[in-house]
Chain A
């Protein structure tokens, strides 16, 4: 019955789609049902379920998760300030000769602001409110596709919260992977950290952004762009936002400041600007704080549900069963890795990014890393698969959220698919490139990022000779420990 965890996933997927009840409650309900069944049938040790309070305390004392309310607050604050609107107007003016200025400006705003939004939902909310009314000249399906893609941009653009949490999850997964006896690579010199993942994701993210800009330009060309007029103050405000984001992102990449501290700095600057400019009244502040509390609660609830779910999933032994299946795979390393990524892709339209990171990644990432032999490549591939999953019509999360919030006229599935297809093709191409050419994710590797992988490979007999010289009493089956 080790496969029971897969039935948990299937039950969850059916309940999420059929009932429309909150996903966090369904995660907990499904876990409770399977946990109880496991205890009653003697398949699950009740003592394992006693670890739940400790795991939830672990969430509350997680350093990285402190950033969750921060990101939610900043995202909601930016929706209420004129900053994002001025930024969109400035970028529209800058791109006015292209014939697709509002669409290109939408991607520009998303790229600058999405990393500070807490989730795809927050990005979708901001973009539909800000950009929706300004895309009147674009066909509804194409406008929806553009806003969905822009909302999903925050998944891959550093230093988004999704990337930070994935970095943390990959650290644990890499530690587990290098202990597997069938680990395929040499990426054992140092376990990856969040900074490594941020660096690895940047080039693929820029490629996705460039590809989507091309698609947006082709799809949204209307020939005549009415460039909005901007006051001197509004222009300066927009330029200040671009400068601040550029400075903070540079500071994160050069290691001067941690990603969460950079986001907090941006938050403090935005609050200071809101106070100085008096854009928000007392009622607006109270509403903003209440909305931040609710949005943070919605995101944190998903983590609580996912933590409960993964505990029961592991209590059934499904993680080990899947790991063994992956180890025994007759398909070879790359084909098995592709299958694992396909499984992640199947889950992505049903589960939110946070559920994916806390439920699916801890289970599938260790065998994926072990088959690829490269934790950074595995992280980037997972991000791209997540992004693709969010854009798959009709259930992709970004598509669902944008469709619900945009107020656009109903459209057929066919027109939606046609609008989204080019946007799906871009991350798919980058995914294929990162899969076939792992160097793509190592272009910005820091010095000493992977000493073992960077070292020139020695012939096998030479390695054996050196090992014999170094170890007088060799133990050929001793597992390799991470440093």
Chain B
């Protein structure tokens, strides 16, 4: 379900790299636009990072020690253990962050330092991160139940 999202989001690292580079000539040569480039890069980074955690889960890329074979990636035991760890946390985040995120989105909140638009997207990204983690943990559980 989320794969098309990840296919789209993975490209964001390219404009992010260019924007981080551009800050240097914009600041020292053009002497304008550096702050805007930084804020835009920040929005891209927030959306990228929010999706990246679940993309890493799907690719079994999260860092782990070599432990019990019972919890190998994709096993029912691992799916249950991860759900126990992540579902309450993601649920708490979604519940406690929703009012602030909603207010920020309604007000189209701007970056506090530069007054550039788009800061609300960073708060939405935090909410999106928790939502994706929750959906992924529950989907992994559903998959193991169907398989068994």
Contact = CB atoms under 8 A, between A and B. Distances in A.
A323 to B, nearest CB: 27
Given A260-B20, A293-B51, A296-B49, A53 B96 contact: yes
B4 interface: no
A308 B10 CA distance: 26
A56 interface: yes
A294 B90 CA distance: 20
B6 interface: yes
A405 interface: no
Contact of A293 (B10, B23, B41, B66): B10
A295 B41 CA distance: 19
Given A73-B17, A258-B24, A261-B20, 4 more contacts: A61-B122, A69-B45, A294-B55, A296-B52
Interface in B55-103: 55-59, 61-68, 70-72, 78, 81-82, 84-86, 88-89, 92-93, 96-97, 100
Interface in A45-89: 49-50, 52-53, 56-57, 59-61, 63, 65-70, 73
Interface residues of B, dominant DSSP: helix
Contact of A23 (B10, B64, B129): B64
B42 interface: yes
B53 interface: yes
Interface of A: 16-26, 28-29, 31-32, 49-50, 52-53, 56-57, 59-61, 63, 65-70, 73, 121, 257-258, 260-261, 263-265, 267-268, 271, 286, 289-298, 300-302, 304, 308, 350, 352, 395, 400, 404
B59 A20 contact: no
Contacts of A400: 65-66
Q: Bin the interface of chain B by size.
A: 35 or more
A257 B84 CA distance: 45
A291 B58 CA distance: 11
Contacts of B65: 16-17, 20, 23, 350, 395, 400
Contacts of B13: 69-70, 73, 289, 292-293, 296
Contacts of B45: 60, 65-66, 69
